[in-house]
Chain A
């Protein structure tokens, strides 16, 4: 089935560093969403993007909807220990129902 390529697979960084992760696809999406998942919990929505080229911030998080509609990135600035978790991109394919296609996840570890 359809899938999103998400990279990097994992990141180990020092507290205070900036982080960048991205998702790419060969298909066109009309919505991109970024979620964070902690162990034993469901994904929590961080940022939602609805228009090509859109750049949206939520505190220290910034995400962009790629102009080609086939990619998106998420940046986290000045990382803190509570940023630890797994980050997933997810998208809704253009012309499809509202189901989400998820990326494979980026596991973030922050060291003090």
Chain B
């Protein structure tokens, strides 16, 4: 979907485990955004990163969630000690300053 690659597509975790979601932006894009979508709802912004920097994390929960976009490699959204309420689809988007293009998401299910 528009060249943004997310993996895994589906992730199942038990409560208390860690979840790591990966996003490789479109070639040439240095801006990465993470969004979360619950069933029947729109996407909600979580965090905006440029290479090695967090630009806006106003949508990130204060605890258990973190994100990085290292100089080399994909962006990672990390959720520690997952709870049932973390079940959702997590989407990554990338841009080069203008329109954001989305990946197909990671569907996280918590048992």
B48 contacts A99, C-beta separation under 8 Å = yes
Give a binary string over A22-50; 1 marks a CB under 8 Å from any B CB, 0 the rest: 00000000000101000011111100101
B105 contacts A42, C-beta separation under 8 Å = yes
Tell me the smallest distance from the CB of A9 to a CB of chain B, in Å: 10
Give a binary string over A4-22; 1 marks a CB under 8 Å from any B CB, 0 the rest: 1010000000000000000
A98 contacts B42, C-beta separation under 8 Å = no
- Which one of A1, A4, A33, A103 contacts B100 once the chains associate, using CB atoms below 8 Å? A33
- Which one of B33, B91, B104 contacts A99 once the chains associate, using CB atoms below 8 Å? B33
Measured between beta carbons, the chain B residues less than 8 angstroms from A102 are 35, 42-44
The A76-104 residues at the B interface (CB cut-off 8 A) are 88, 90, 97-104
**A66 CB-CB contact with B under 8 Å:** no
B91 contacts A43, C-beta separation under 8 Å = yes
Tell me the smallest distance from the CB of A49 to a CB of chain B, in Å: 10
- Which one of A1, A44, A88, A100 contacts B33 once the chains associate, using CB atoms below 8 Å? A100
A45 contacts B101, C-beta separation under 8 Å = yes
- Interface size band for B: 20 to 34
B2 contacts A100, C-beta separation under 8 Å = no
With A41-B1, A43-B43, A88-B42 in contact, is A99–B59 under 8 Å at CB? yes
- Interface size band for A: 20 to 34
A-B contact pairs, 24 of them (CB 8 A): A4-B42, A35-B102, A41-B104, A42-B6, A42-B105, A43-B43, A43-B91, A45-B100, A45-B101, A45-B102, A88-B42, A88-B43, A97-B48, A97-B56, A98-B33, A98-B100, A99-B33, A100-B35, A101-B45, A102-B43, A103-B42, A104-B41, A104-B42, A105-B42
The distance in angstroms between the C-alpha atoms of A100 and B5, with both chains bound, is 19
Q: Looking across the interface, which residue of chain B has its beta carbon closest to that of A48?
A: B99
Tell me the smallest distance from the CB of B94 to a CB of chain A, in Å: 11
Q: Looking across the interface, which residue of chain A has its beta carbon closest to that of B44?
A: A102
Measured between beta carbons, the chain A residues less than 8 angstroms from B22 are none
The distance in angstroms between the C-alpha atoms of A27 and B99, with both chains bound, is 20
